[in-house]
Amino acid sequence: MPNLPLDRAFALEAVRVTEAAATAVADQIGRGDEHAADHAAVEAMRRAFNFLPISGTVVIGEGERDEAPMLFIGETVGTGGIEVDIALDPLEGTALTAKALPNALAVLAIAEPGTLLNAPDVYMDKIAIGGGYPEGTIDLDADIQENILNLAKAKNVKPSEITACILDRPRHEKHIAAVRSVGAAVRLITDGDVAGIIATSDPATGIDICLGRGGAPEGVLAASALRCVGGQFQSRLFFKTNAERERAVKLGIKDFDRKYALRDMASGDVVFAATGVTDGAMLKGVQRTPEFIVTHSVVMRSTSGTVRWISAHHPRRRHDKISSKP
């Protein structure tokens, strides 16, 4: 019997979970304490799951059970109901939050069981573009210059009108030089490549392609979003040690050299939600008024392709009361 599409009510329920994480971490923005920021987001997201009518299994989370006290891989959440797999990052961009830099998000994907890649916490080589281009416009195994030129051709623009989003890391020096060698621009980000990949799907962000090496769990989250709105995404896991390979084997990874396409990372019905923590290209961050905490979120569904942008006003008194609980 085929799986039924996830109830569309889960879309708003998912947003409530990411809103809870974002509002909980609002007081930590710019405070310089990454651990405190992450802890606040994790606790709030875990509490919010207690109101969801699901039997959820965390497949992308805060780490393995011996590494994370809650929202660990394999943990079950929800009050009971439809079985789903969950990928999450209560605070994508802990350093961004601590330094009050752009693009920190609270992120969640809810999917049919067995349809999300159980990615180990290792690096992943990635390349992604938004929707509307011929299949095969990008290829992880092609030269970066070739990918930029092919994208420019598909978009019917000059390479100088292409902007690539790349994490600002020493390992990406050759990537940056390759992009610029064909006249394209580079937008460097310090952290948060989930936001960078998703931004390729929205022309308003000015980002056409995202490439480079980042976290594998973040890759699955970004793939979940692109499954909803369309796009192309290819990736390959990158292992530094035998211990990382052994961890991958435990999660069912057999081919260490496999090139994953978008539907290999997120193959079934999925709901994706994100709430801005700090201002970014895609979402505004948490804002405070004397009476409210204001959040800005996006929620997407793969079955309908619907994208909802949600601005919510949370009463300060209620938030402060919840935040003050031990």
- Going 54 to 60 to 65 to 69, the CA torsion angle's sign is negative
Residue 7 has pLDDT above 60, yes or no: yes
Co-location of 294 and 242 in the same domain:
no
Whole-number average pLDDT of the chain: 92
Residue 2 lies in a domain: no
Co-location of 108 and 160 in the same domain:
no
Q: Within a 10 A sphere around the Cβ of 79, how many other Cβ atoms?
A: 12
Rounded percentage of the chain residues whose pLDDT exceeds 90:
82
Reported as a single tens digit per residue, the pLDDT across 198-207 is 999 999 999 9
60 within 8 A of 87, measured Cβ to Cβ: yes
What whole-number distance in Å separates Cα of residue 124 and Cα of residue 176?
A: 18
Which of residues 243, 265, 287 is at a domain's end? 265
* Structural domain containing residue 283: 9-114+270-323
196 within 8 A of 209, measured Cβ to Cβ: no
pTM of the model: 0.90
Which of residues 227, 247, 265 is at a domain's end? 265
Co-location of 27 and 134 in the same domain:
no
pLDDT of res. 10 = 77
What pLDDT band is residue 321 in, cutting at 50, 70 and 90? low
The residues pairing with 88 across neighbouring beta strands, listed in sequence order, are: 108
Reported as a single tens digit per residue, the pLDDT across 193-237 is 899 999 999 999 999 999 999 999 999 999 999 999 999 999 999
What pLDDT band is residue 48 in, cutting at 50, 70 and 90? very high
- CATH number, domain with residue 230: 3.40.190.90
What number is the average pLDDT over the span 28-40?
96
What number is the average pLDDT over the span 66-89?
91
Number of structural domains the chain divides into: 2
What pLDDT band is residue 320 in, cutting at 50, 70 and 90? low
pLDDT of res. 70 = 93
Co-location of 260 and 130 in the same domain:
yes
Residue 214 lies in a domain: yes
- Phi and psi at residue 242, in whole multiples of 5°? -65, -30
Check residue 171 and report its DSSP letter.
Answer: G
Residue 3 lies in a domain: no
Residue 1 lies in a domain: no
What pLDDT band is residue 141 in, cutting at 50, 70 and 90? very high
- CATH number, domain with residue 16: 3.30.540.10
Reported as a single tens digit per residue, the pLDDT across 259-298 is 999 999 999 899 999 999 999 888 999 998 889 999 999 9
What whole-number distance in Å separates Cα of residue 207 and Cα of residue 165?
A: 6
Co-location of 158 and 233 in the same domain:
yes
Co-location of 233 and 310 in the same domain:
no
Reported as a single tens digit per residue, the pLDDT across 97-122 is 999 999 999 999 999 999 999 999 99
pLDDT of res. 2 = 39
pLDDT of res. 326 = 40
Co-location of 206 and 219 in the same domain:
yes
